[in-house]
């Protein structure tokens, strides 16, 4: 049994501390009286409709995932973060956190408060209040530079670039107070959790060395074994299987289906008390290396000591080199800023020779034909046509959940 430390009446394990602070900085207003007063006064405030990306930023700020940020970045911080991964004050941060829009009413000015409306919930309720620090425009060159530095490309065929370039060029910076977590608690009860709730789960489990596994997809055999390899090779206490619950690109599998599939896999095929399943309310960026850094930063805020980073982590198409998302962690600014470490993984696949899932770099005597390899496109085609996935690729119970979804889509 590990030694526990008692703080303010609660027993705490020695989890890694949050980024930039000794404790989390959630921007969600917990006090019911304060929240009631804010909601009441907000009715008379100017209002703006957020885009989905900005609303997701609000949720992450509110839930403490983006500790130690206090709100949305201004233009100078956005450019500095995109270019050098630090704010003007020197804080490491990998991707600008922006409230960016196409147009703004003339009655909204710096120094005033505005109510931010949620675009993803019927009736567009107020999700947060923002105190405006500044309102600034990005010219085309600045917008293109930020885009290139985040995504490594300005190609409009890249789904992250396409979305980011469509959001507008007016940046509204300033601190926010968050009133709710949008649709995530209602649509993903028991799965969506704040950073503090995850820390509490890890403390209750008495875990100290914790591996985070990021996923926007259902987990196949290779993902399952990758988590188990990380647990074994790091001698970790457990793995946090942490799902993106926000907006994805067309063709990706919805969060509720992924959730069901992952829970079935863990229930049947993971040793008891070695995995915690949770999710966070953020839209996928497909920003490859920079998004891998963001994933690591907010997993440190969750208390994780390690993040699994595999081939083409958070990538899309052929925009990033296979191990670019691992190599970026070797930058001095990253090594000097983050406490979380990565478990650098190669592509995993089922070996016909060895009759088990392996990391492909560990078996140099194999050829491509020795592995069971299926592309995402091929998997979707097979499921849509009612063709069973090979048991070497997917657990039958998981494949059945996915097949039901694809068959209902037809």
Tokens of 233: 């090779």
Whether 395 sits among the annotated catalytic residues: the reply is: no
State the maximum Cα–Cα separation within the chain, in Å, rounded to a whole number. 70
- Following DSSP, what letter does each residue of 167-223 receive, concatenated? S-SEEEEEEEEE---TTHHHHSTTTB--HHHHHHHHHHTT--SEEEEEESS---HHH
Cis amide bond preceding 311, omega within 30: no
Overall residue count recorded for the chain in this entry: 410
Tally the C-alpha atoms within 13 A of residue 169's C-alpha that lie toward its C-beta: 11
d(CA 271, CA 267): 8
**Catalytic residue among 14, 124, 169, 217, which?**
217
Catalytic member of 216, 263, 301, 395? 216
DSSP tag of 31: -
The side-by-side arrangement of strands in the sheet containing 210-215 is 275-280, 238-244, 210-215, 306-309, 341-344
Q: State yes or no: is 199 an active-site residue.
A: no
CA atoms of 146 and 70, how far apart (whole Å): 21
> What three-state secondary structure class fits 259?
helix
Mind telling me the catalytic residues?
Answer: 216-217
């Amino acid at each position: 049994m590990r030694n526990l430390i008692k703080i303010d009446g609660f027993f705490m394990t020695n989890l890694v501390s949050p980024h930039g602070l000794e404790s989390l900085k959630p921007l969600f207003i917990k006090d019911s009286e304060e929240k009631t007063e804010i909601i009441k006064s907000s009715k008379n405030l100017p209002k703006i409709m957020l885009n989905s990306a900005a609303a997701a930023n609000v949720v992450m700020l509110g839930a403490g995932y983006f500790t130690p940020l206090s709100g949305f970045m201004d233009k100078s911080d956005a450019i500095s973060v995109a270019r050098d991964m630090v704010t003007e004050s020197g804080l490491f941060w990998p991707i600008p956190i922006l409230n960016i829009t196409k147009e703004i009413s003339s009655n909204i000015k710096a120094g005033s408060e505005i109510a931010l409306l949620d675009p993803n919930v019927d009736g567009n309720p107020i999700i947060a209040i923002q105190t405006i620090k500044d309102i600034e425009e990005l010219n085309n060159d600045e917008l293109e530079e930020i885009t290139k530095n985040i995504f490594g490309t300005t190609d409009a065929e890249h789904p992250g670039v396409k979305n980011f370039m469509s959001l507008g060029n007016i940046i509204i910076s300033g601190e926010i107070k968050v009133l709710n977590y949008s649709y995530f608690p209602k649509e993903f009860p028991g799965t969506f959790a704040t950073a503090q709730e995850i820390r509490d789960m890890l403390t209750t489990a008495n875990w100290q060395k914790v591996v985070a596994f990021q996923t926007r997809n259902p987990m196949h055999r290779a993902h399952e074994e990758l988590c188990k390899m990380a647990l074994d090779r790091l001698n970790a206490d457990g793995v946090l299987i942490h799902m993106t619950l926000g907006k994805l690109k067309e063709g990706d599998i919805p969060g509720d289906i992924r959730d069901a599939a992952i829970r079935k896999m863990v229930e049947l095929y993971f040793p008891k008390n070695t995995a915690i399943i949770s999710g966070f309310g953020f839209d996928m960026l497909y920003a490859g290396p920079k998004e891998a850094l963001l994933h690591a930063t907010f997993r440190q805020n969750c208390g994780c000591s390690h993040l699994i980073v595999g081939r083409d982590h958070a990538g899309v198409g052929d925009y990033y080199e296979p191990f670019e998302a691992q190599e970026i962690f070797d930058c001095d600014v990253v090594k000097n800023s983050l406490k979380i470490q990565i478990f650098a993984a190669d592509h995993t696949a089922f070996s016909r020779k060895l009759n088990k899932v392996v990391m492909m770099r560990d078996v140099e005597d194999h050829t491509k034909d020795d592995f069971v390899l299926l592309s995402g496109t091929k998997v979707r085609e097979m499921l849509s046509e009612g063709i069973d996935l090979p048991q070497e690729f997917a657990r039958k119970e998981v494949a059945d959940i996915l097949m039901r979804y694809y068959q209902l889509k037809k």
